[in-house]
Amino acid sequence: MTETERFDVIVIGGGSAGENAADYAGRDGLSVALIETNLVGGECSYWACMPSKGLLRPGEALNEVGRVPGARGAVTGQLDVAEALDRRDALASNWDDSGQVEWLEENDIELIRGRGVLAGDKLVEVHRPGMPVLTLEANKAVVIATGSSAAMPPINGLEDVPVWDNRDVTTADDVPRRLVVLGGGAVGVEMAQAWKLLGAEEVTIVELDDRLLPHEEPFVGEELVDSFDRFGIVVHTGAETQRVTAASDEIRLMVTLGDGQDIELEADHLLVATGRSPNTKEIGLEAVGLAGGDVIEVDEHLVVKGVEGGWLYAVGDVNGRSLLTHSGKYQARIAGAHIRGIETHAWGDDVAVPRVVFTTPEIAAVGLTEKHAREHFDDVRTVRYDIGDTAAAGIVGKGYGGTCQLIIDGVRGVIVGATFVGPRTSEILHSATIAVSAQVPIGKLWHAIPSFPTLSEVWLRLLERYVSEFGHPS
């Protein structure tokens, strides 16, 4: 390889969004270079989606079996933590990206190891340790897919204390004895449950908002707190962390609760899961007239705003549209197609983003919450049903329940949001995603017959509630 190389498309960042952008951009024979400084596959493969679900599954499975008469008596002994961690490691490919690299080679995508930095119009410099800087030039497009990193909140003393972020908590080799989690979002609640069920003695969540998962429906946080209470996970909502200190091997937090009371928490490990920051510093945005450190604004084609020529794209967490792996992949497909000259635009990650939190119970949602729907529509209709009242829930196991809700725009008669709380609700979410994205009228959904006895029968019950409260759909 010479010190200057030319490709049709250059992708900076080899996570899931970057890989998909490279794949779709090169499908018509365009030459593609993918620049990655770490592991190809990115956050989801090695430090988020895959290892976190590996940590959650053993406790989830044990809890599930314990709810099934005839099976629960066969469960004896404790979880095998070492085996569970080995499986977690396997799901993360043992932090070896050779399989991903092989996939790139099979698809004629050239991998360049190093740090990609924009250097001008369609120019990218690759900084490689101990090697000369390599300059790449794109014939058609450059795609930024550098993802995001854990954000650290401005808490007094936090910068002086050894803390865990999402990478540390999903790759830990030992069960923490006392774990405090700052943040009640998806990462915080999933990892609180995972390590508690794997054997942590004490797990405490501190959330500044007045409920867990504050961006979802209020009942979601309430039902999750009830479940966590049964697991022995302590939850403080409406709580502000004032100060963090470390002494010897112990971390101490001074926390003001919602009622004004001050309490001190002690932990062996502190997980900070309070949000994400886009990885847009030191990638050369200044060379094209943009400021580093902020999200990169894009249009409906994922083309970066404020850069002339339409050659620069940004997909995934860096553009702030939807910080979810599947949203990043979706954007990458749109951007890749647009680079190839296909007239398409992104809207699915705006109106119908599916979201799943893999706790017990599972929380699955898509589209708008009731609050946001009322900000957009004049006639908002809401129906609810407890999934525990379906025949399928009783078959899955005793004691399962959870609120399921549809949000309907009454003027058009279409669903604009849905939330399902309960067992395995992640597997019935896509039906709601299709209904929301395709704007299927309630009158047509009435004729979509769910199989009995499956959890999908909750759709029938919700539609029956709609008929009862608002009349038969036309």
Strands (E), 13-122: 32-36, 109-113, 115-120
Nearest to 146 by CA among 13, 16, 329: 13
Q: Which residues, other chains included, contact 273 with Cβ-Cβ below 8 Å and sequence gap of 6+?
A: 150, 165, 166, 169, 181, 182, 183, 185, 187, 188, 191
Helices and strands per DSSP (H, E), number in the chain: 15, 21
Spatial separation of the C-alpha atoms in residues 347 and 426, rounded to whole Å: 22
Tell me whether domains 158-274 and 361-470 share a fold.
no
In this predicted structure, what is the pLDDT of residue 1?
A: 43
Spatial separation of the C-alpha atoms in residues 421 and 216, rounded to whole Å: 11
Q: Domain spans of the chain?
A: 4-46+92-149+277-350, 158-274, 361-470
In this predicted structure, what is the pLDDT of residue 276?
A: 97
pLDDT in tens, the chain (474 residues): 446 799 999 999 999 999 999 999 999 999 999 999 999 999 999 999 999 999 999 999 999 999 999 999 998 888 999 999 999 999 999 999 999 999 999 999 999 999 999 999 999 999 999 999 999 999 999 999 999 999 999 999 999 999 999 999 999 999 999 999 999 999 999 999 999 999 999 999 999 999 999 999 999 999 999 999 999 999 999 999 999 999 888 999 999 999 999 999 999 999 999 999 999 999 999 999 999 999 999 999 999 999 999 999 999 999 999 999 999 999 999 999 999 999 999 999 999 999 999 999 999 999 999 999 999 999 999 999 999 999 999 999 998 999 999 999 999 999 999 999 999 999 999 999 999 999 999 999 999 999 999 999 999 999 999 999 999 887
- HSE, CB side, 13 Å, CA atoms: give it for residue 226: 13
Q: Which residues, other chains included, contact 358 with Cβ-Cβ below 8 Å and sequence gap of 6+?
A: 52, 53, 56, 60, 190, 426
Question: Position 174: which residue type?
Answer: D
90-132 residue pLDDT tens: 999 999 999 999 999 999 999 999 999 999 999 999 999 999 9
Q: What is the CATH number of domain 4-46+92-149+277-350?
A: 3.50.50.60
Burial of 426 (0-12, 13-18, 19+ CB in 10 A): middle
What's the fold here for domain 158-274?
FAD/NAD(P)-binding domain (3.50.50)
3-class SS at 22?
helix
Spatial separation of the C-alpha atoms in residues 223 and 361, rounded to whole Å: 8
Chain centroid to CA 17: 13
Task: Please answer whether residues 145 and 315 qualify as being in contact, where contact means their C-beta atoms are separated by less than 8 angstroms.
Answer: yes
Spatial separation of the C-alpha atoms in residues 233 and 230, rounded to whole Å: 8
Task: Please answer whether residues 307 and 300 qualify as being in contact, where contact means their C-beta atoms are separated by less than 8 angstroms.
Answer: no
The H-assigned helical ranges of 363-412 are 370-376, 391-396
Q: What is the pTM of this model?
A: 0.96
Q: What is the CATH number of domain 361-470?
A: 3.30.390.30
Spatial separation of the C-alpha atoms in residues 217 and 371, rounded to whole Å: 8
In this predicted structure, what is the pLDDT of residue 248?
A: 82
Spatial separation of the C-alpha atoms in residues 325 and 353, rounded to whole Å: 11
Q: Which residues, other chains included, contact 156 with Cβ-Cβ below 8 Å and sequence gap of 6+?
A: 242, 243, 244
